[in-house]
Chain A
Amino acid sequence: MHPPRPLGGDRRSGGLRKGMPRWAAWIATGCMLTAACWPPLSPCTAAAEPRAQYAPRTEQQHPSLVLPRIDDGSPASLEQWRGKKVLLIHFASW
């Protein structure tokens, strides 16, 4: 196991436009809401930048992500569980 290095995370506001879905706002601002454009600090527009590794920082917004569910492949994002405390478990069945 290697200790994760910190990376700069965005703060909780997000600065999203009102009146449109948040995912649409991300797309409109040039950053796809897919795992393909994760984390938000390496947006699509900064294509030449190397990717930062996963290192969620305390007191900062958890990076956005959209990934397929293992049961039906449908997209799921952490944002859909806003309003609840979330325990995110990264694991493998091996």
Chain B
Amino acid sequence: MWHARTKGARQAGQLQVVGIIQEQHPDRCRLYAQWQQFDWPILHDPINAIGARAVPMFVAIDEAGIVVDSVLSLDRLDAFLSRPPATAESAVGIRPPSREQLYAQGEAMWDSAAAKKSAEAWMQAGDALLLWGKPADLDRAWVAYQRGLELAPDHAPLQFRLGVAHRMRFDLLDDPDAFAQAAAAWNRALELDPNHYIYRRRIQQYGPRLMKPYPFYDWIQQARAEIRARGETPVPLVAEPTGAEVASPQTSWTAAPAARENPDPQGRIDRDGGTLVQARVVVVPATIPPGSTTRIHVILRPKAGVFWNNEVDPPVVWIDLPAGWEATEIETSTPVPSQAETREVRSYDFELKTPPAATDRTLSGFALIYICENRGGQCLFRRIDFEIPLRFVTAEK
């Protein structure tokens, strides 16, 4: 709506629209902007460096950089546009520093943080490395946030940033454990600041349907189709949304319609043992009250040189559910590709409803997969075992 309403003013050079997005993956917003044909600059703030408590927000700023309306609404847009131009001396554009300059400052901040022994200084050093460094700098950003948390364990913004850095390591550095670490850090950030809308949305993005306000990325398929229909190529995504990220909200619990049979009740299928496929489990939220629901992400990643065999049945995922526990159907957002052999990371999502008296425990599960040791090489049928750690908060806490 704002895009359409400001079109004339933008084209007349009367207005500069600038977006700032509060989300993890900038490529998803690039796809959204391509779909909506946004032609204005959008800046990425994955770590919530500006300290926003909520989105959306619309701020009107005059030619001299002075805020004239901090909560602009559409009905006040024309009044903003018709204001006489500010004539202050400072109404001259200033080029931002280069990425290299900002990165160099980040390096200096690292030394400064070490000397100051301050959580805030470590956070600034981590921010500079994360925003302006290369993917290889993510580990140092993570270390900076960790050092800050050693000084201030209850620092919610540091916990949130730590989660962002972990998730970036999962997406960009193929660290299989980093998604679970991200979820744990975001969980802690929300515990520390339960009224923070941005932190809450991050948990809801990957969490169960009962806690979702809306589906997060259900627009992606429609966007791609419409972009292709225009003759364009959709912006590629670094990480396809998982089932949780496209799931619709629910107002009541819906378990899987019928109990399935264990596909390997006697455990006779050969175990892979982590040789060919790495299995990781992420629980979101990482801790829940007994009786509530949580979302389980089972992520299967072929090891180097190993390929899925797509010429046979897709993987089957099984969970051993104790009495009194319920689960939804297992969904996957990674359909089997048309090529015979592929190497994509596969994610399987489902939700658990826990009993009212549940206590900390670990559930077991497995996936049955067809996998090839190398391209064109021997293909095997294997069982991948995994565990689902479940942690509960109690009223006393």
Contact = CB atoms under 8 A, between A and B. Distances in A.
Contact size range, B: 35 or more
A62 B128 contact: no
Interface string B21-59: 111001111111100000001111101011111111111
Interface string A9-52: 10011100000011110010000111111110010101111111
B131 A67 contact: yes
Give the interface SS of chain B, mostly helix, strand, loop or mixed.
mixed
B93 A39 contact: no
Given A33-B97, A44-B124, A88 B201 contact: no
B121 A47 contact: yes
In this complex, which of B41, B96, B205 has the most chain A Cβ atoms within 10 angstroms of its Cβ? B96
Contacts of A92: 21-23, 29, 55, 201
A59 B66 contact: yes
A73 interface: yes
A4 interface: yes
A66 B41 CA distance: 13
Contact of A94 (B58, B126, B201): B201
Interface stretch (B10-18, B268-276, B376-384, B389-397): B10-18
Interface string A55-94: 1111111110111111101111111111111111111111
A67 B43 contact: yes
A78 B18 contact: yes
Nearest to B102: A34
Given A27-B105, A54-B51, A36 B125 contact: yes
B233 to A, nearest CB: 15
A13 B63 CA distance: 14
B67 A62 contact: yes
Contacts of A83: 63, 91-93
B120 A39 contact: no
Contacts of A74: 99
Contacts of A55: 70
A85 B60 contact: yes
B95 interface: yes
B70 A89 contact: no
Nearest to A14: B90
A13 B88 CA distance: 9
A36 B217 CA distance: 28
B16 A87 contact: yes
Nearest to A27: B105
B17 A70 contact: no
With most chain A CB atoms within 10 A of its CB, the pick from B68, B90, B116 is: B90
Given A47-B116, A56-B70, A69-B42, A87 B58 contact: yes
Contact of B43 (A14, A34, A56, A69): A69
B234 to A, nearest CB: 13
A85 B32 contact: no
A94 B6 contact: no
B53 A56 contact: no
Given A69-B41, A79-B93, A62 B61 contact: yes
B131 A34 contact: yes
Contacts of B266: none
Contacts of B62: 85
Interface in B267-296: none
Contact of B52 (A42, A78, A86, A90): A90
A42 B106 CA distance: 17
Interface of A: 1-2, 4, 9, 12-14, 21-24, 27, 32-39, 42, 44, 46-63, 65-71, 73-94
14 contacts: A23-B96, A24-B97, A34-B106, A35-B50, A44-B112, A59-B68, A61-B66, A68-B132, A70-B27, A81-B93, A84-B15, A85-B14, A85-B83, A87-B6
